Amino acid sequence: MPDPYLYEDVPVLRNKLGIKTEKTLDVVEAEQSRANMMLLYERGFSDFSPAGLCEIHRFLFGDIYDWAGQYRIMNIEKAERLLGGRSVWYSNDNDIDRDLCAAFSVIEDYDWDQCSREEFVSTLARLFPRIWQVHPFREGNTRTVVMLMTLFVERHGYFFDKDLLAASAGYVRDSLVMASIDQFSEFEHLERILLDAVCIEPIEEQGMEVSETEHHDKYAKYQKEPYTPAPHTARDD
């Protein structure tokens, strides 16, 4: 089955700008979505539901794609180095709404305001990958879920080091992969970086108390080789 999201003459996502070079599209998409993340963060957000997730995706990518904020209409996969070239099993397209509702229901039922910061982070690292594993959109899932998580953390009274996760994109995605392999899931990798990112005090105030060396070490331990996003492809069911 042909991928309806791609141009017919080149394997590049159809986009509002008419870009037909994957590398150029990646750069433009990254810059635009980053700017839109800042706008959304400043505007504020409180709808932590499947509809809210779609709103975030539409806000981040609506300048680029007509289908932004809409569930994908095909099954996808992505070869993962950590899994020996295999893909995480993302939800079937006709199960997306059901699986998202189930994931958000567990998050809604948890008493987030009655736990310590460590318990908050540990639960965050176990429940939000359930949303990510659904992978409801054709592209842009990781950035959308990380944005959702940022807004959720700050909604509950903590401060979130957005720059740490942005600078550690490869580590974050690998951590989500490792937290999404069903009974073999490993949550400690995501929990590790979230413990550094979720703070009780504003990040700016911490910077006054932390030395330049400590700040560098905090970021350096999550740095991997330069992260180059690879596209998802149609899953051959």
Q: Domains of the chain by range and CATH? A: 79-231 (1.10.3290.10)
Q: Is the pLDDT of residue 211 over 90?
A: no
Q: pLDDT tens digits, residue range 39-67?
A: 999 998 999 999 999 999 999 999 999 99
> What does the block give as tokens for 147?
């944005």
> What does the block give as tokens for 97?
């709404």
Quote the percentage of the chain above a pLDDT of 90.
83
Q: Is the pLDDT of residue 212 over 70?
A: no
- The C-alpha torsion from 137 through 140 and 146 to 152, rounded to 10°, is -50
User: Among positive and negative, which fits the CA dihedral 159, 153, 180, 186?
Assistant: positive
Question: d(Cα 222, Cα 206) in Å, to the nearest integer?
Answer: 19
Q: Is the pLDDT of residue 25 over 60?
A: yes
The overall average pLDDT reported for the chain is 92
The pLDDT, as a whole number, for residue 143 is 97
Dihedral pair phi/psi, residue 198, rounded to 5°: -90, 115
Alpha-helical runs (H) found in the chain: 22-43, 50-61, 96-109, 117-134, 141-155, 162-167, 169-178, 188-197, 203-209, 212-220
For residues 130-138, give the mean pLDDT.
Answer: 98
Max distance between CA atoms of the chain, in angstroms, equals: 57
Q: Is the pLDDT of residue 210 over 80?
A: no
The model's confidence at residue 206, banded by pLDDT at 50, 70 and 90, is low
Question: d(Cα 147, Cα 144) in Å, to the nearest integer?
Answer: 5
Query: In which element (H, E) is residue 76 found?
Result: strand 76-77
CA of residue 152 relative to chain centroid, distance: 13
Q: What is the DSSP letter of 159?
A: E
- The C-alpha torsion from 121 through 157 and 207 to 187, rounded to 10°, is 10
The model's confidence at residue 216, banded by pLDDT at 50, 70 and 90, is low
For residue 191, which of 164, 172, 204, 163 has the smallest C-alpha distance? 172
For residues 102-118, give the mean pLDDT.
Answer: 96
Q: What is the DSSP letter of 184?
A: G
The pLDDT, as a whole number, for residue 139 is 97
The model's confidence at residue 237, banded by pLDDT at 50, 70 and 90, is confident
Question: d(Cα 190, Cα 127) in Å, to the nearest integer?
Answer: 11
- Is the distance from CB of 33 to CB of 57 less than 8 angstroms? no
